[in-house]
Amino acid sequence: MLMRSEENVEEVIRRFLENTLNELGPLTWAYVVLSKKDMSCIFGVTNYPDEWVQRYRENSLQYTDPVVITALNRLTPFAWDENLLVSSGFNLTDPFTQAKAFGLVNGYTFVLHDYNNNLVTLSFILPPENSAEVMQTLIQNKGDLSILLASVHETYLALNSLSEKNSSGKEKTAGFTERENEILYWASVGKTYQETGIILGITVRTVKFHMSNIVKKLGVANARHAVRLGVELQLIKPVN
């Protein structure tokens, strides 16, 4: 069994975000995770222009990005532009100067600080041609977008944890026991708890007990999410 690479983790996160954000209309967005202990450690999924993303990474602009610096000291969403930090005594306009060529100078950012000491942001660009309309959409859906950021990041943490376990060579099935893998497999092919119990010769109560452990190990909310994640990440070993 092969664990998906970081590129495929990005694919899962991208699909998660697109499925929700596309319902709000055409938005330009970026989900970014930065370690506050080492800001060179950056993970991002975005539909920003590829050329800008490459330039941002190559020049490590997260160290001087006023949006990042502001987010480090915020818990609530905030709007930003090229004058963001002037009133605070900072003059870090270089990232904005470079971003002007891509139309990325006005936006709105949601913030999260997690238990792994990461700064997590979900930013949206306010394009000049319809900035008021986009801002209204973001404000009207502020609560839902804050929950979306938390949900996406919860999934990211689960995927990242599983990737680390796999790369260490210590765990090859995300820590699943043989019985847990069997239950996850039969659930993934559409079997009910009762049907799985009959196949494995165990009670429905025992099936539910093992599924509860699977949910905890994957860091997800419920069995349905656990099955979806197991399939997407190819964590399930076929049962003969």
Question: CA torsion angle for 2, 167, 120, 107 (degrees, to 10)?
Answer: -60
CA distance 71 to 51: 24
Which ranges of the chain does DSSP label H, i.e. alpha helix?
6-21, 50-58, 66-71, 94-99, 131-140, 142-168, 178-188, 193-200, 204-218, 223-232
At 111, give phi and psi (nearest 5°). -125, 145
Identify the pLDDT of residue 168.
Answer: 46
Query: Structure pTM?
Result: 0.66
Q: Which residues sit opposite 34 in a β-bridge?
A: 42, 119
Identify the pLDDT of residue 89.
Answer: 47
The residue ranges of every structural domain in the chain are: 6-165, 173-232
Tell me which CATH homologous superfamily contains domain 6-165.
Transcription factor LuxR-like, autoinducer-binding domain (3.30.450.80)
Structural contact between residues 227 and 180, judged by C-beta atoms closer than 8 angstroms: no
* DSSP-derived 3-state class of residue 100: helix
* DSSP-derived 3-state class of residue 61: helix
CA distance 171 to 217: 12
Rounded mean pLDDT for each run of 10 residues along the chain, 240 residues in total: 57 90 93 89 91 87 85 92 58 62 83 93 92 94 95 88 50 68 92 94 94 80 82 77
CATH architecture of 173-232: Orthogonal Bundle (1.10)
Identify the pLDDT of residue 146.
Answer: 95
Containing 129, the helix (H) or strand (E) segment is none
Identify the pLDDT of residue 170.
Answer: 39
What letter represents residue 65's amino acid?
A: D
* DSSP-derived 3-state class of residue 46: strand
